[in-house]
Amino acid sequence: MGILKGMAVTLRNFAGSYFEKDRLITVQYPEERSPLPENYRNFPFLIFDGNDPQAGLRCVACQICEKECPPQCIYITKSKDKKPDYIGKPQFYPAIFDIDISVCMSCQICVEVCPFEAIKMDKDFELSKRERFDNLLFRKEQLSKSNDYYHKIHPVEAAAVDKNLADAAAVAEAKKKAAAEAAAKAAAAKAAAAAAPTPVASPESTSS
């Protein structure tokens, strides 16, 4: 039965190569390209929001991806100062963020451990270089790509990520607003207590 099943698969593939349209047409690469699936991954890249890759970079240089990377191909140097993140909280940022793609094994562990949705997997596979060493070490400037680019290559995943970030920002804003209201009420109560007149003892109570 195993042989018969195997022969059936072979026959189906043989017949399909003559009748299935997708298999009858040769893609004239590189002028023509077959679309890549949504979950295709190659090498990591960094996401930034807005138009400025420096100001909008989501990475806060927590270095979790660097520590968890199995081939140790990520190199990060944390900045000395801070900048506000997507919810306005001051965060460090990477002064240096390099990935050696000659060593990267595209395991996606860096993406899975990142708590800030800052690093994702790219679909760009045409990265061959004439030299092996420095040209295959991608710097922060080469790795930084916009959120619009992320939506273009992974539309379903990017929409889910944006929703999670928006929900987190809304929760943070609600907590900030509640804390501000509580502080205002406490200040008003303190001011009211300070402005209240101090009761004066009557002469009868004093003489007794």
Q: What confidence tens digit (pLDDT) does each residue in 69-91 have?
A: 999 999 999 999 988 876 677 88
pLDDT for res 176: 86
| pLDDT value at 39 more than 70 | yes
Percent of the chain with pLDDT over 90: 48
Cα–Cα dist 176/76, whole Å: 31
Beta strand 94-100 with 83-84 is unpaired
158-198, pLDDT tens digit by residue? 999 999 988 988 888 899 899 888 888 888 888 888 877 76
**Domain residue limits, the chain:** 41-184
Cα–Cα dist 201/55, whole Å: 64
Q: Residue 113: helix, strand or coil by DSSP?
A: helix
Cα dihedral sign, 40-45-48-52: negative
Please report which confidence band the pLDDT of residue 103 belongs to, taking 50, 70 and 90 as the band edges. very high
| pLDDT value at 208 more than 70 | no
Q: Residue 94: helix, strand or coil by DSSP?
A: strand
pLDDT for res 38: 87
Query: What is the pTM for the complete model shown?
Result: 0.74
Percent of the chain with pLDDT over 70: 93
Looking at the domain that runs over 41-184, which CATH code has it been given? 3.30.70.3270
Q: Would you put residue 54 in left (φ > 0), alpha (ψ -120 to 50) or beta?
A: alpha
pLDDT for res 148: 95
| pLDDT value at 24 more than 80 | no
Let me know the angle formed at the C-alpha of 136 by 132 and 139, rounded to the nearest 5 degrees.
Answer: 150
Please report which confidence band the pLDDT of residue 203 belongs to, taking 50, 70 and 90 as the band edges. low
128-159, pLDDT tens digit by residue? 888 877 888 999 999 999 999 999 999 999 99
- Average pLDDT on 104-111 reads 94
Write the CB contacts of 100 (distance below 8 Å, at least 6 apart in sequence).
73, 75, 136, 137, 138
Write the CB contacts of 94 (distance below 8 Å, at least 6 apart in sequence).
57, 59, 61, 76, 77, 78, 79, 140
pLDDT for res 201: 59
Contact 94, 61 (CB under 8 A): yes
Q: Residue 170: helix, strand or coil by DSSP?
A: helix
pLDDT for res 69: 96
